[in-house]
Every structure is written in C-alpha cells, then in structure tokens.
Amino acid sequence: MLSKIQYISHGDSPQEQLYHIEKVLDAGQDWIQYRFKNTLSSIRWSTAEKVKKLCETYKATLIINDHVDLAKAIDADGVHLGLTDLSVVQAKLLLPNKIIGGTANTYEHILQRAYEQCTYIGLGPYRFTTTKAKLSPVLGLEGYQQLLTQMKQDHINIPIIAIGGIEISDIHSIIQSGVHGIALSGLLYNAQDKTEILTQLNDILK
C-alpha cells in the first residue's frame, strides 16, 4: 500500500540519519525513503543495513533513494529514481515486484514516468527548499493544479506524491489538487515533537 506520508531521510552523518529515522518511526511513520547523498559508499551501505533493521522492527516500508544496487543488496521494498539515475526499465529488471518511484517536474516527465509504469511519481518541488541541491523549477500550487488536471484529461492514473518545502498549512490545498500524498524531509527532521506533527498530518490527509 502506498503511504500518504513519505519521510525522506536527512542528515550529514550516520548518527543523524539513524537518530531521526528512528524518531519518526517511533512517532508512527510507516514509510521511509533513505537518502544519504554526500558520503562514502561504504558508509551509505553500512547505515542502510541499520535502517533496514529499524524498518523491519517498526514494520515500515523502506525505499532507497537512487541506488538500485543497494536496494537489491539489502532487499529493500523499492527504490526512488531521479531523472538522471538508472532507468526505470533497468531498475525493474534488477528489482522485480518491488516499488519503483520516479521524480518528475514537468508534464513531459509525467508522460515519461507513465510510459515507464512507475509505481508512483514524486512531483515537485512545491516551493524552494534547501534540503535538495540542484533544485528543479518550483511548481507551486498552480503548477500542481495544472499538471493534475492535464493528467485527468489524459486518463493518467499514477499516484502523485507532492514534494519540496511543504509546510502543514500547504497540505489541504495540495491534496485538493488531486495528489495522493506528500513527501517530507525538513518538516519532520526539524520538528521537536514528531508525533504531534504526524498526528496533524494524518488528520488532514484522512
């Protein structure tokens, strides 16, 4: 089942990554996308093994950002691919029957992801965010409304996950545009009370 709230992990060290992942899992989060960019491959892999054990303990879905080989090695639930990563077709060959998410920023990207038959599309960014380097053009609410309307007209039914600098006050309007759910990093990472934030999010998204 595709969660309506996806947490994208954040942190510059294994300790930061693991601390915040465990905190959001303990607060009730059931979907983790493990994203650890600027580190050695060996550190990324060893940390991923610990994240896998945490997700198993909490019975949470684990998606690996970008690294299909890592997702395969630790038997994660799936992978999320950026536009310049390994192709979805290749990922499906390496990860049969797994979740394959794909990033999109334009309608052309959505058509590409639909053709590739992704499990879901991470569409964004909603607004400027410092969490991700090399940010694509910001869509804003109007961008989401236009793209989701066009998808409906073209009978494209892949679930859309909104991402990029989203705050709680944004969510009601974003959901009304027709997206399936939201992906969050900074909002949960920076929250002092992660349980309270997740409770608010679940109340809005029900």
Which CATH number is associated with domain 67-205?
A: 3.20.20.70
Q: Does 61 show up as a binding residue in the annotation? A: no
Residues comprising the chain, all counted = 206
Q: Does 113 show up as a binding residue in the annotation? A: no
For residue 130, what are its two tokens?
């410092």
Q: Quick: pLDDT tens for 122-176.
A: 999 999 776 655 667 899 999 999 999 999 999 999 999 999 999 999 999 999 9
Question: Residue 179 in 3-state DSSP?
Answer: coil
| Domains of the chain, residue spans | 67-205
Q: How far, in Å, CA of 173 to CA of 191, rounded?
A: 22
Q: Does 134 show up as a binding residue in the annotation? A: no
Q: Does 131 show up as a binding residue in the annotation? A: yes
> Which helix (H) or strand (E) segment is 202 a member of?
helix 194-205
Q: Does 84 show up as a binding residue in the annotation? A: no
Q: Quick: pLDDT tens for 48-102.
A: 999 999 999 999 999 999 999 999 999 999 999 999 999 999 999 999 999 999 9
Own/partner pairs, 92-100, CB within 8 angstroms, 24+ separation = 94/68, 94/69, 95/68, 95/71, 98/71, 99/2, 99/61, 99/63
Q: Does 128 show up as a binding residue in the annotation? A: no
Q: Does 44 show up as a binding residue in the annotation? A: no
